[in-house]
């Protein structure tokens, strides 16, 4: 009794977070894992321990296709973000002379993160749609005569939208990594006979790889689990895993399969995160 | 000997008000060990970085050999730099770091391996070839940085405060090592330091800088014996200064009134009778006179402070007019501590005529 009272603040400080994590994270994981082995028996599910759901995921072309599509979209989004973010971050860190401008531009890239994610995805609907900004613009300059429906409701629209939404997560780690590279390393490289391109290739790029890895991990995993963009701009054959999972828990009423899908998705994401973590650690031990 | 580096009226004005280097001309002979010496912010690094190609001068010409390299980028110059904090590549092994500078030479693998091995052996660290810079101590990194620079066999090696990150013992050891290395490989060294001992120990020639300009240059002992300005006198060694008036300035021997006493000196400048001058005295050249002992010049005063510094004593003396000078003396024998100078005691100080510096004007250095 007195022990408890003496430790009460400690118990509260530690206890509430532990309880929170147990209740809202560990328990749901447990439930999902458990469900993923159950059997669907219309109209409900019966407890079981069998791998049928997982087998379905890896054999039914329908699910394999969604997985591959999600993989493809996520990879495209990561690559597009990288190709845009790296030169931009590089320019900011090494070429932008004015510190004020640098801060400003960096903030401009980060600021959209404070705007509702849903809103930012929705914006692209109004840009790419038949009534949208892009179509009006193309018509006004006479490139097309009537609105094109080619821009919206396809995978292209999804990649554009997701790249737009997640690019700050690529810019931030790359910017940080580049900023950490001491200028005297590039100077040393030049001193040792290397021109700007070769210095970049041999010194700057390798030393920024941990940032690139972090950026790829973030944008890939965020895209991999995205639910809104396919929903808003993806069109009929733009479903990603998250949408399929949602359907299993909703209309299809197949919680066991939905759970198994969620677990597979979780494993993919965790694998990527731990790989990149290992790479970053290695980068650090070899790092600055 | 031929000139290897020629700086002609080199200036670097970062902005109209921030002047890094101001109209410096300097010639460095092939094989020489030259040190740029001066206090923080006097433009030493800026000058060195312009020779390396990391800064572009706002005026002037830099010649390497007989080539104008003023506007060449660093990777086109046959000079190499040892950076202050070494700038070793953290993502490469020691071997890769040293081999890095050979990439542009397109040598075959075996030649690269031998040259890397030779360079690392020269600095005594070949056994570290497969380790990473982070696994080495400060002194070891510093040697790797050296090996990485000399493996390219540059015409000139630039060193920006190469020893400043090392502790005192190691620094002394590396000073000697660097000096030997210079003698061994015969490359021209240009080093920057703010440590006068380092400059005096290592270099053939010291260039003392002051606010972006060269204050004086010369062999270490010449700078010590013939400082051109109070600034140099105080930067190379220690000097105490006394205001004086010229009583007579004829024929290379001047008599000067200092602190109520008349002394004589061999000034290196022309002095007019009645001119205001500053007299400089090195503590190690001022002698505490025993009873009955005489000197060419004598000053009288009272001891105000006695500082013990291991090798000897530094004694501060207030002269009749209140001005102060310092005198160094060796410690007396252990057994005669009773004869140690006492604060408050009257003393006579002696200085040889040729050990007195005379500078024009009234200066507070
Ligand atoms: N990139 C720069 N931009 C503006 N001013 C600079 C720059 N680099 C140096 N300066 C200025 O030029 C002057 C000389 O600097 P420099 O670095 O050459 O001094 P230093 O003699 O090497 O000093 P230290 O011993 O502290 O390294 C200083 O007043 C410094 O403020
Ligand atoms: Mg400096």
Q: What is the DSSP string of B212-250?
A: TEEEEEE-HHHHHHS-SSHHHHHHSS--EEEEEEEEE--
Confidence of residue B341 (pLDDT cuts 50, 70, 90): confident
Helix axes A27-35, A255-285, angle to 10 degrees: 120
- Residue A148 DSSP one-character state: -
Quick one: chain B helix, strand, coil %, rounded to 5?
30, 35, 35
- Picking from B244, B201, B245, the residue whose alpha carbon sits closest to that of residue B224 is B201
d(CA B226, ligand 2 centre) in Å: 27
**Beta carbon of B42 within 6 Å of any ligand 1 atom:** yes
Question: What is the pLDDT averaged over residues A49-64?
Answer: 91
Among A30-34, A45-49, B169-173, the range with the most confident prediction by mean pLDDT is A30-34
φ, ψ for residue A283, nearest 5 deg? -60, -40
Per-residue pLDDT of A7-32, as tens digits, reads: 788 888 888 899 999 999 999 999 99
Which ligand lies nearest to the CA atom of residue B83 in the structure?
A: 2
**Which residues pair with residue B193 across a beta bridge?**
B37
Would the pLDDT of B166 be above 50? yes
Residue contacts between A and B (CB atoms, under 8 Å): 69
Q: Check B91 against A287: CB less than 8 A apart.
A: yes
CATH number for B238-360: choose from 3.20.20.70, 3.30.70.330, 3.40.50.720, 2.40.50.100: 2.40.50.100
The closest ligand to the CA of B159 turns out to be 2
B3-234: CATH topology? Rossmann fold (3.40.50)
Q: How far apart are CA B88 and CA B96, in angstroms?
A: 10
* Ligand 1 center to A246 CA (angstroms): 62
Contact B90 A189 (CB under 8 A): no
Phi, psi of B101 (to 5 degrees): -70, -10
Q: Residues of B at the A interface (Cβ-Cβ below 8 Å)?
A: 52-54, 73-75, 80-81, 83-85, 87-91, 100-101, 103-105, 132, 134, 148-149, 152
Q: Kindly tell me if the per-residue pLDDT of A167 is higher than 50.
A: yes
Among B252, B236, B240, smallest CA distance to B305 is for B240
- Does B14 sit in the ligand 1 pocket, CB within 6 Å? yes
CB contact under 8 A, A192 and B148: yes
Helix (H) or strand (E) run with residue A24 in it: none
The best mutation among B36, B40, B42 to test binding of ligand 1, ranked by most ligand atoms within 8 Å of the C-beta, falls on B42
Decide if A85 contacts A166 (C-beta within 8 A): no
Cβ pair A225, A265 in contact under 8 A: yes
The CATH number, out of the four listed (3.90.1150.10, 1.10.3720.10, 3.50.50.60, 1.10.287.130), of the domain defined by the range A44-287: 1.10.3720.10
Nearest to B217 by CA among B225, B205, B203, B226: B205
Q: Comparing B209 with A146, which gets the higher pLDDT?
A: B209
Q: If you average pLDDT over residues B129-150, what whole number do you get?
A: 93
The nearest alpha carbon in chain A to B149 belongs to: A192
How large is the average pLDDT for residues B71-93? 94
Query: With bands split at pLDDT 50, 70 and 90, how would you rate the model's confidence at A286?
Result: very low
Residues of B in contact with A288 (CB under 8 A): 90
Q: Do B52 and A287 touch (CB under 8 A)?
A: no
Per-residue pLDDT tens digits for B204-215: 999 999 999 999
Q: Closest to A191 (Cβ–Cβ): which among B52, B84, B132?
A: B52
Please tell me the least confidently modeled range out of A2-16, A137-151, B31-45, B326-340. Answer: B326-340
**Mean pLDDT, rounded, for B282-299:** 88
Q: Any long-range contacts for B104-109 (C-beta under 8 Å, 24+ apart)?
A: B104/A192, B104/A193, B104/A194, B104/B75, B105/A193, B105/B152
CA of B44 to the centre of ligand 2 (A): 6
Q: pLDDT value at position A90? A: 96
pLDDT range class, residue A287, cuts 50, 70, 90: very low
B36 lines ligand 1 (CB under 6 A): no
Residues 6+ apart with CB under 8 A from A249: A255, A258
Average pLDDT rounded to a whole number, residues A235-246: 88
Nearest-by-Cβ selection for B75 from A185, A195, A207: A195
Q: How close does chain A come to B107, measured CA to CA in Å?
A: 14
Query: Cβ(B43) to ligand 1 under 6 A?
Result: yes
The ipTM estimated for the assembled molecules is: 0.84
Residues B294-316, mean pLDDT to the nearest whole number: 87
The average pLDDT across B313-329 equals: 88
Question: If you average pLDDT over residues A66-88, what whole number do you get?
Answer: 96
* Average pLDDT of span B13-32: 94
Domain residue extents for chain A: 44-287
Which helix (DSSP H) or strand (DSSP E) does residue A118 occupy? helix A117-128
- For residues A71, A73, A75, A80, the Cα torsion angle rounded to the nearest 10 degrees is 180
pLDDT of residue A125: 87
pLDDT at B365 over 80: no
**Mean of per-residue pLDDT scores for chain B:** 90
Q: What is the pTM of this model?
A: 0.84
Q: Which has the higher per-residue pLDDT, B19 or B165?
A: B19
pLDDT at A288: 41
Task: State percent of chain B over pLDDT 90.
Answer: 65
**Does the C-beta of B18 come closer than 6 Å to ligand 1?**
yes
Residues of chain A neighbouring B85 (CB-CB closer than 8 A)? 182, 184
Confidence of residue A276 (pLDDT cuts 50, 70, 90): confident
Q: Is B40 near ligand 1, meaning CB less than 6 Å away?
A: yes
Average pLDDT over residues A265-273: 93
Ligand 1, atom 13, lies closest to the CA of B20
pLDDT score at B332? 67
What is the distance in A from the centroid of ligand 1 to the CA of B43?
6
Is residue B73's pLDDT more than 90?
yes
* CA A262 to mean position of chain CA atoms: 16
Can you give the pLDDT at residue B333?
Answer: 66
Instruction: Give yes or no for residue B230 having a pLDDT over 70.
Output: yes
**How large is the average pLDDT for residues A181-209?**
95
* Ligand 1 contact, B11 CB (< 6 A): no
Query: Is residue A284 over pLDDT 60?
Result: no
- The pLDDT of residue A41: 82
Instruction: Please report, for residues A249, B10, B193, B243, the alpha-carbon distance to residue B37 in angstroms, rounded to integers and kept in the order given.
Output: 77, 17, 5, 27
User: Starting from the edge strand earliest in sequence, which strands make up the sheet with B19-29, in order?
Assistant: B19-29, B3-13, B59-64, B67-68
pLDDT of residue B335 exceeding 60, the answer is no
């Amino acid at each position: 009794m007195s022990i408890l009272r003496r430790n009460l603040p400690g118990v509260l400080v530690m206890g509430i977070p532990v309880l929170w994590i147990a209740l809202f994270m560990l328990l749901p994981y447990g439930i999902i894992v458990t469900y993923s082995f159950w059997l669907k028996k219309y109209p409900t599910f019966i407890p079981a321990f069998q791998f049928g759901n997982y087998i379905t995921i890896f054999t039914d072309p329908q699910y394999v296709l969604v997985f591959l599509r999600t993989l493809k979209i996520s990879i495209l989004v990561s690559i597009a973000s990288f190709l845009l973010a790296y030169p931009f971050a590089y320019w900011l860190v090494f070429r932008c002379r004015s510190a004020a401008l640098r801060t400003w531009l960096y903030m401009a890239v980060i600021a959209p993160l404070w705007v509702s994610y849903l809103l930012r995805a929705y914006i692209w609907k109004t840009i790419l749609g038949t009534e949208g900004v892009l179509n009006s613009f193309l018509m006004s300059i006479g490139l097309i005569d009537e609105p094109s429906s080619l821009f919206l409701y396809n995978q292209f629209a999804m990649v554009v939208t997701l790249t737009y939404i997640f690019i700050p997560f690529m810019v931030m780690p790359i910017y940080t990594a580049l900023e950490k590279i001491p200028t005297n390393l590039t100077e040393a490289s030049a001193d040792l006979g290397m021109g700007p391109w070769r210095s970049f290739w041999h010194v700057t790029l390798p030393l920024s790889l941990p940032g690139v890895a972090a950026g790829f991990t973030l944008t890939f995993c965020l895209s991999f689990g995205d639910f809104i963009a396919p929903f808003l701009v993806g069109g009929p054959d733009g479903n990603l895993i998250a949408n399929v999972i949602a359907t299993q828990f909703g209309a299809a009423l197949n919680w066991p399969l939905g759970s198994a899908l969620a677990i597979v998705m979780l494993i993919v994401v965790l694998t990527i995160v731990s790989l990149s973590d290992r790479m970053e650690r290695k980068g650090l031990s070899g790092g600055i | 000997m031929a000139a290897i580096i020629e700086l002609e009226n080199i200036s670097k004005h970062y902005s109209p008000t921030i002047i890094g280097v101001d109209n410096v001309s300097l010639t460095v002979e092939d094989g020489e060990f030259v040190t740029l010496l001066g206090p923080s912010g006097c433009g030493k690094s800026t000058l060195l970085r312009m020779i390396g190609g990391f800064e572009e001068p706002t005026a002037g010409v830099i010649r390497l050999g007989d080539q104008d390299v003023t506007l060449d980028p660093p990777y086109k110059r046959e000079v190499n730099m040892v950076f202050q904090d070494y700038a070793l590549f953290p993502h490469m092994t020691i071997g890769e770091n040293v081999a890095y500078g050979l990439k542009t030479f397109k040598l075959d693998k075996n030649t690269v391996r031998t040259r890397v091995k030779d360079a690392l052996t020269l600095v005594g660290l070949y056994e570290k070839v497969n380790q990473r810079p982070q696994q080495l101590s400060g002194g070891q990194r510093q040697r790797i940085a050296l090996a990485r620079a000399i493996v390219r066999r540059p015409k000139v090696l630039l060193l920006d405060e190469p020893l400043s990150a090392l502790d005192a013992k190691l620094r002394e050891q590396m000073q000697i090592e660097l000096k030997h290395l210079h003698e061994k490989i015969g490359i021209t060294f240009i080093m920057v330091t703010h440590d006068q001992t380092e400059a005096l120990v290592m270099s053939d020639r010291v260039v003392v800088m002051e606010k972006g300009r060269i204050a004086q240059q010369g062999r270490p002992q010449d700078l010590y014996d013939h400082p051109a300005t109070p600034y140099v006198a105080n930067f190379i060694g220690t000097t105490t200064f006394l205001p004086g008036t010229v009583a007579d300035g004829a024929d290379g021997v001047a008599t000067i009134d200092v602190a109520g006493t008349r002394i004589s000196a061999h000034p290196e400048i022309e002095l007019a009778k009645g001119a205001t001058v500053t007299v400089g005295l090195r503590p190690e050249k001022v002698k505490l006179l025993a009873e009955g002992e005489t000197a060419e010049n004598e000053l009288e005063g009272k001891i105000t402070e006695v500082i013990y510094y291991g090798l000897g004593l530094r004694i501060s003396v207030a002269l009749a007019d209140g001005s102060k000078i310092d005198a160094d003396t060796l410690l007396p024998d252990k057994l005669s501590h009773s004869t140690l100078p006492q604060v408050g005691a009257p003393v006579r100080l002696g200085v040889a005529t040729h050990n007195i510096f005379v500078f024009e004007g009234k200066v507070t250095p």
